[in-house]
Amino acid sequence: MSHMLRISLSRTGAAGRPSALPRGAWRSAAFMVLTLAAMVAGLWGRSNYSAPPDPGLVAVTAASYVPLFFRNRWPEFTLVAVVAVEVAHLVLQPLLTGSFDASKATAFQPVPIATMAAVYALSLHREPARAWIAGLAAAAVLCTTAFVLYPENLVATTLLMGNLVVIATAIGTAVRHRRLGRERREQAQEQHVRQEVLAERMRIARELHDVLAHNLTLVNAQAGVANYLLNTDPKAAQTALGNITAHTRKAIDDLRATVGLLREEAVVSAPDPASLAESGALAPTHTLEHLPVMLEAFRNAGNTVRFDESGSPVAMPPLNDLSAYRIIQESLTNAAKHARGAAIDIILHWRRTMLEITVTNHRPPQDQEDIRTHRPAGGGHGLIGMRERAAIAGGKFGAGLLPDGGYQVHAFIPTGPGVLRDKP
């Protein structure tokens, strides 16, 4: 859970200290500045930086630069506008400069820098196929115009101009692919975090439900016994009230231990985790070794609980051991709650690779039946929790009504790691 919180904090980052502009705005501003710098350098480079550019070329260059401000909102419109202006640049440049030399490699500068910028922007926002069609079309228009106007002297320069537009398309497509891949990874990570948070919440809810439902059911049963015996047998009523105090204290201790186990961050950051365990803040969780204590508590609450065990018990992984204990606990809790007065049979059958658990409550006496006695399998949080615990341990779970009106829970928990594929 702490790992997920650290991820969330790293994404919110400097909350309360936001940057003046988002990262996208800084990137866009840098792109426009670099494009303008390249275009200005191209203009000055026509004369080897020995003389300022002609005003007409500056005007046409500015006209090709202005549409780039709309490249993110209308990339196709921007590309068409920029290509149109740069075509006009190629057509008019002999008239715009008195020193035009069609034999120089720098004769077309700053064309096609604006087209490259527009194609790059379009490639970031559109699918690769569409971007390539637009890029190749832009390169073809510029090259065709140059070939028609200057068929003999600037073939190499014309081909270089077209290649630069194609290269800009390729770079834009590659950057888009990289960004989309990063976004997908971030989304997958966020989805994973959400699933982990949900699983953690379900685990906490399951543990708290099992602890509280079990102890509160016993408290409720003892309260009923005390109320019934208060006038007829005060001493027995006093004993029942004492049991209520014991069960309440037990519920508080179990709740504290459960919360302590769930607070993994406390274990990691504690200067001395052993001291926490000694103090009881991180008491060991329940296992089947605690089963006799739980059965005795139910018997003290007035329930008839019969227990039978066969086979050779083995040490199970902690998760499987806890799952088996919680399934038995929840089964007893449901039986005491919904079939008061009914005898409860618990059978544990140890096999070589699994533990078979059968908890059966018979039909309660007629005078103690109520409308909550029988519930269909699959309903209620208790049955859902038992099914989840069996699944997490790699086992199987089933529950349902019996022909005589009773109810039975049947579970198979592997005694070792692995998934139980087939019900024996």
194 compared with 181, residue with greater pLDDT: 181
Q: Which residue has the higher pLDDT, 300 or 204?
A: 300
Identify the pLDDT of residue 203.
67
Rounded to 10 deg, the angle between the 113-125 and 128-149 helix axes is 160
| pLDDT band with cut points at 50, 70 and 90 for residue 257 | low
pLDDT at 265 over 70: no
Strand ordering across the sheet containing 354-361: 305-310, 344-350, 354-361, 407-414, 396-401
* pLDDT, tens digit, 9 for 90 and up, residues 46-103: 766 667 777 888 888 899 999 999 999 999 999 999 999 999 988 887 777 655 555 5
Structure tokens at 252: 């508080």
> Which helix (H) or strand (E) segment is 289 a member of?
none
pLDDT of residue 369: 47
- Summarised one tens digit per residue, pLDDT across range 115-144 is 999 999 999 999 999 999 999 999 999 999
Nearby residues of 297 by Cβ (< 8 Å), 6 or more positions away: 218, 247, 250
Task: Indicate the CATH number for domain 286-424.
Answer: 3.30.565.10
Output the pLDDT for position 256: 64
Please return the burial class of 216, using the count of CB atoms within 10 Å of its CB with bins 0-12, 13-18 and 19+: middle
All CATH 3.30.565.10 domain ranges of the chain, comma separated, are 286-424
Whole-number Cα distances in Å, 146 to 28, 99, 107, 132, 175: 31, 18, 11, 21, 30
| pTM (two decimals) | 0.49
Nearest alpha-carbon partner for 350 in 289, 407, 319, 308: 308
For residue 102, the model assigns a pLDDT of 55
Read off the pLDDT of each residue in 296-316 and give the average, rounded to a whole number. Answer: 86
Q: Which of 265, 307, 414 is nearest to 351 (CA)?
A: 414
Q: What is the mean pLDDT of residues 175-201?
A: 83
CB contact at 8 A, 222 and 30: no
Counting Cα atoms < 13 Å in the Cβ hemisphere of 290 gives 15
Of 359, 296, 358, 288, whose CA–CA distance to 324 is shortest? Answer: 288
SS3 117: helix
